[in-house]
């Protein structure tokens, strides 16, 4: 239904009869009906379609976030357990390395002590052998001293007196001088 007053205003060439339809009271009942229809349709769409979908999306998102937080906590706990296990393994490895190092040092010290004792024994044997040779050489030299003394005494007597001394006389004189 077209209002004749408005039809004139809308027609080309009509002048002066115009205005905004929102302010025309005669148009209000139709506008209110259409506003109620549009409100009802929007209300039904929001109540039945949009709000449930948004609520489902929010719920799914909250579930996903809660699951992600739970996964993160489990992963954090697993990582901490792995870190603690690695620290324990590291401490155990350090203790083992320290034990191996101390055993190696003790073994090296024992080996060095054994080698030193071996060398000392060898040197003691060489020293005793050398002392035996020296004693033997001294005994041999001392055995020759008497002969040298006899020869020297004979040479002195011959030089001083011009006569030769007999070896048995010189030996008796040496025996008397030693006693």
In a domain, residue 1? The reply is: no
The mean per-residue pLDDT over the stretch 40-56 comes to 95
In a domain, residue 113? The reply is: yes
pLDDT on residue 19: 76
Domain carrying residue 79: 27-171
Q: With a cut of 70, say whether residue 9 has pLDDT above it.
A: no
pLDDT on residue 118: 93
Mean pLDDT, the chain, integer? 86
In a domain, residue 43? The reply is: yes
In a domain, residue 14? The reply is: no
The mean per-residue pLDDT over the stretch 119-128 comes to 93
Instruction: Provide the sign of the torsion angle of the four alpha carbons 3, 5, 9, 14, taken in this order.
Output: positive
Task: Return the exposure string of 67-91: e unless at least 16 CB atoms fall within 10 Å of the residue's CB, then b.
Answer: eeeeeeeeeeeeeeeeeeeeeeeee
């Amino acid at each position: 239904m077209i209002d004749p007053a408005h039809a004139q205003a809308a027609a080309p060439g009509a002048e002066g009869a115009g205005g905004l339809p929102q302010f025309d009271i005669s148009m209000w009942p139709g506008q209110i009906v259409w506003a109620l229809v549009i409100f009802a349709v929007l209300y039904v769409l929001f109540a039945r379609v949009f709000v449930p979908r948004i609520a489902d999306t929010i719920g799914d998102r909250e579930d996903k976030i809660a699951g992600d937080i739970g996964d993160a906590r489990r992963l954090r706990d697993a990582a901490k357990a792995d870190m603690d296990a690695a620290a324990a393994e590291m401490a155990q490895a350090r203790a083992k390395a320290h034990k191996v190092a101390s055993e190696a040092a003790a073994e090296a010290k024992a080996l060095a002590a054994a080698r030193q004792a071996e060398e000392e024994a060898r040197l003691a044997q060489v020293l005793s052998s050398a002392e035996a040779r020296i004693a033997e050489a001294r005994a041999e030299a001392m055995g020759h001293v008497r002969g040298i003394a006899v020869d020297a005494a004979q040479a002195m007597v011959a030089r001083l007196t011009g006569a030769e001394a007999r070896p048995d006389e010189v030996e008796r004189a040496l025996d008397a001088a030693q006693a």
